[in-house]
Chains A and B, each alone.
Chain A
Amino acid sequence: MPVSIRIPTVLRPQTGGAASVSYDGSTIGEVLNALVAEHPGLAGQVFSGDGQLHKFVNIYVNDDDVRYTGGLDTPVKDQDEVSILPAVAGGAN
């Protein structure tokens, strides 16, 4: 079941410039692992050292942040749209 993944500008150099790619998987973890298997340069940007989602990245399946829907075990199905977005934060502090 192909699931499309929208790639943010910061990660496009790792996907040869592609703004969207598709991979099979039944969970978001499987889909993201398929993504980094083909594009190993993304591994450190998507996952932390312990294999969990990197804290400075937000992953959405359609409109839902996967941190609130089961994390990497979140199920995905055909035609779902995955978005990878960096956290945007900072400040004078």
Chain B
Amino acid sequence: MLTLSTELQLELIAHCIRSLPEEGCGLLIGEYETGHVARVVPAENVAHSAMIYTVDPKMFLSADREASKEGLDVIGVFHSHTHTEAFPSPTDVAQAPDPGWHYVLVSLRDTHPVLRSYRIENGTITEEPVSPG
């Protein structure tokens, strides 16, 4: 389960909307063992694309260092799908780096944004509940 407060959900959705027409992306900082997200770090999509995203590696480095200082970790990533549903694409699955991470998808296809979270392990996608805590 992913614990992501309503405030943080709105923060990452807002970043995805601001990133239009490109895909928006960012990192989830929190407790690796429990899936509790303490904060989100909006990142630059250095791919600058409506179809793919790449989190700025320098931003990842700095977010990872900051998290370590707080005894936290980068525990996942969020990104938007601008014209498709909130479900991991084959590209997402192929490039998912960590089976312990939480993969949050935000679909901006419809009037209301849709946020869902998944685990991806050895190519297998499993949706997980998102609790506001």
Contact = CB atoms under 8 A, between A and B. Distances in A.
A65 B99 contact: no
> Which A-B residue pairs are the 9 nearest by beta carbons?
A91-B52, A86-B97, A10-B98, A90-B92, A93-B51, A88-B55, A89-B54, A92-B81, A92-B84
Contacts of A86: 97-98
Interface string A53-93: 00010101001010000000000000000010111111111
Contacts of B83: 92
A9 B73 contact: yes
B46 to A, nearest CB: 9
Q: Which of under 10, 10 to 19, 20 to 34, or 35 or more describes the interface residues of A?
A: 20 to 34
A56 B95 CA distance: 8
Interface in B67-104: 68, 73-75, 77, 79, 81-84, 88-89, 91-92, 94-101
